[in-house]
Amino acid sequence: MRIAIDTGGTFTDCVCLVDGQLHVKKLFSTPKDPSEAVLDGVRELGGSENLEVRHGTTVGTNTMLERTGARVAFVTTTGFEDTIAIGRQARERLYDWFAPIPQCFVPRELRFGLRERVGAKGEVLLSPMDEELEALADAVRASGADAVAISLLFSFAQPETERRVEAALNKLGIPISTSHRILPEFREYERASTTVVNAYLAPRMQSYLATLEERVSKRYKGGRVDVMQSSGGIIPARVGATEPVRTVLSGPAGGVVGACRVAQWAGFERIIGFDMGGTSTDVFLANAASGAERTSESVIAGAPIGVPMLDIHTAGAGGGSIARFDAGGMLHVGPESAGADPGPICFGRGERATVTDANFVLGRMDAESFLGGEVRLDGERTLRMMREQKGTAGTVEEFAAGILRVVETQMEKAIRVISVERGYDPRDFTLVAFGGGGPLHACSLARALRISRVLVPVMPGALSAIGILLADAVRDYSRTVMLPGEAIGNLGAAFGELEKQGAAEFAAEDLNGVAQRSVDLRYLRQGYELNVRYDPVKPILSIEEFHQLHQQRYGFADTARPTEIVNLRLRMIAASEPYEPQRQKIVPGDGRAACYAERNLYFEGGIRPTRFYTRGMLKPGDSIGGPAMVTEYTAATLVLPGCSAAVNGLGNLVMEIGEEACA
């Protein structure tokens, strides 16, 4: 039995597949111990022997954001101890002279230099003596460090010295992260930063995953735990524990996989994913068949991370985002969130107005059917406390509408970052809205961005967990080679070594992997590179694709200019069990049988009578016009005036944003 669990800021989503049918359970997250909600979800879904729990975890992300990780000792080549703090000259806000410098994860007293040197081509120029390694071990022990990050200069070309340092420090009995294993690539700052983040997360992630797997295996004979990676693939918990840097975007990656699968089944090729959860909103651009682009240049909590991740842009705007007025009376929403504890006001414990409360006040959440009636929403308390906090806003409804305008503007800006600012026209894409709050705001965002079609999947509030359930097992490998472009046809041996490593690791897990090869190319003497596919039969195609991609990305290409091969990348994939939902016959209808109420809701144009529909009773072929609310267990969908929604053969809602809504 396989159960996928996505831990979010407010809810923990649990999904399993039984006899071709998806079953879902939503529980409140347990921030103090996320494993409690995980185990409760497994129990609710009827976990059995030989259970496989697939987990999308926020432990790594939260540890970085909250700065609650390990005390890390950083070991590097003498003279380079402070590179981890100096970083690059680029600033996030170029013209803000008062922008704070990102706090380094390693304080000055925990940076240790070692007399050693490896040349750029891998030749050992200076090797440390055994006595120096002993002294280093004593110094690290005396520092009180909880973990060690080792990143020596040019260790990606020759890791022998790093191995010696690791062996000398093993006797300390604390987690050790080495750059030649975590990220064997050039650029010493990014490699060191990635290794430090891995060490920073290691003790907490090792403890969390080990405890979770122990509790799962104890309750369910033969049970095991796997973890979702930021790159969109599954790895065993033991790998996630030793390489936790690969899991910092674990949950959002599941949403990308789920959205791409749903869009592909529905026949939509180019999509913009819009995942609004309790704490944040994640957006991405993707081709449904090939998935979202991956990047090796992510920055999380001010720290560069060089391991492959899906290219996801996050905004601090979620259902739990708190509304407040500044000293000048300006309304702000987020990034501070009420989370699961205390949560929004309407859940009964929170005391500060949130986006969820605004939707509730405007009637966009059904108090009777929320989470299948398992959670009762407190309307009287919400109105009273929203009235107390509305400031200069005229009415509670105007205050709530203002909160939604602010948060929707933030989400629109996030989508523009991954589309317009990269040369893509949002009108050429289908907006896939999911997460607990995504379908409520999808029509408004589509209207603002002039997107004509919105897809709301089945079980939208649990799509990230569904993506984790359906994801393939994946491992990524890389190596810096620095070769002239003319050597593009001579990479077989180097790729062969990476493939041999991947095949051995997959064999240890009884998996058969298929290798996908790619290369990072750049023009000679350029500072940055582009990743393109590598075909061993026709390797020259990589050079041609590089020129085309350079033209698309930067507006020019020079086919006569020499190129350089920087990194080799290998992605080993073991496909998960195939699954595709059953298509049903489409019979045109008006959904009247699913309508259970008509209520007056507040919109920008005033009060409008709005029909409420039960999504589970809508049939393929049913079409409804806005304004309308479609309620279900995991989420609610708002169909604005001028828009319409139809149920396709897979049970998805396909909303058309008409001319009136786009005016």
CATH of the domain at 299: 3.30.420
So what's the pLDDT on residue 660?
55
What distance in Å separates the CA atoms of residue 49 and residue 64, rounded to the nearest whole number?
A: 35
pLDDT for the residue numbered 190: 95
Last residue of a domain, one of 574, 609, 632: 574
Query: Do both 570 and 517 map to the same domain?
Result: yes
3-state class (DSSP) for residue 255: helix
User: Is residue 499 in a domain?
Assistant: yes
Say if residue 52 is in the same domain as residue 95: no
The pLDDT of residue 549 is 92
Residue 626: count other Cβ atoms within 10 Å of its Cβ.
24
Do 423 and 289 sit in the same domain of this protein? yes
Structural domain that includes position 546:
473-574
Number of helices (H) and strands (E), helices first, in the chain? Answer: 17, 35
Q: How far is CA 383 from CA 97, 377, 400, in A?
A: 42, 11, 10
> What span, in angstroms and rounded, lies between the C-alpha atoms of 537 and 457?
39
User: Measured between alpha carbons, how far is 616 from 651 in angstroms, rounded to an integer?
Assistant: 9
pLDDT at 237: 92
Q: In Å, how far are 274, 313, 450, 654 from 269, measured between CA atoms? A: 16, 20, 18, 14
Q: Are residues 25 and 172 in the same domain?
A: no
Is the same domain home to 217 and 171?
Answer: no
What is the tally of structural domains in the chain? 6
Q: Which one of 387, 406, 425 terminates a domain?
A: 406
Note the pLDDT of residue 19.
Answer: 78
Q: Which burial class, exposed, middle or buried, applies to 510 when counting CB atoms under 10 A from its CB (0-12, 13-18, 19+)?
A: exposed
> Residue 662 has what pLDDT?
37
What are 396's strand-pairing partners?
none
Predicted pLDDT of residue 663: 33
Say which CATH number the domain at 157 has: 3.40.50
The residue with tokens 């080549």 is: 77
| Residue 623 belongs to a domain | yes
* pLDDT per 10-residue tile (average), the chain, 663 residues: 86 86 87 88 86 89 85 97 89 80 91 95 94 96 96 95 96 96 94 96 93 90 91 92 92 91 93 89 89 86 90 86 87 81 84 90 82 76 89 85 92 92 91 93 94 94 92 94 94 94 91 93 93 94 95 90 96 89 91 92 85 94 93 91 94 85 37
**What pLDDT does residue 340 have?**
67
Give, rounded to a whole angstrom, the gap between the first and last alpha carbons of the chain. 50
Q: How many CB atoms lie within 10 A of CB 182?
A: 24
In the DSSP assignment, the letter for residue 421 is: G
My answer on whether 208 and 197 are in the same domain is: no
Tally of residues, the chain: 663
Q: Is residue 585 part of a domain?
A: no
| Structural domain ending residue among the three candidates 469, 501, 518 | 469
Region of 117 (left: φ > 0; alpha: ψ -120 to 50; beta: rest) is beta
User: Which residues does residue 301 pair with via DSSP β-bridges, in sequence order?
Assistant: none
Residue 586 inside a domain? The answer is no
Residues 361, 401 within the same domain: yes
**338 and 433 share a domain?**
no
**Are 70 and 254 spatial neighbours (Cβ–Cβ below 8 Å)?**
no
The CATH number that applies at residue 24 is 3.30.420.40
> Residue 373: its pLDDT value, please?
65
Helices 396-418 + 438-449 axis angle, to 10: 70
Element (H, E) at 143: helix 130-143
Q: Is 549 contained in some domain?
A: yes
If asked whether residues 484 and 570 sit together in one domain, one would say: yes
- 196 with 209, same domain: the answer is no
Q: Tokens 């070769």: give the residue.
A: 483
For residue 529, give both structure tokens: 């590179």
Spatial distance between the Cα atoms of 456 and 52, rounded to a whole number of angstroms: 28
pLDDT, position 482: 94
Judgement on whether residues 10 and 127 belong to the same structural domain of the protein: no
Domain assignment present for residue 580? The answer is: no
Instruction: Yes or no: say if 337 and 9 are a contact pair by the CB < 8 Å rule.
Output: yes
Q: Is residue 156 part of a domain?
A: yes
- pTM reported for the whole predicted model: 0.88
Based on the fold, state whether residues 77 and 88 are members of the same structural domain: yes
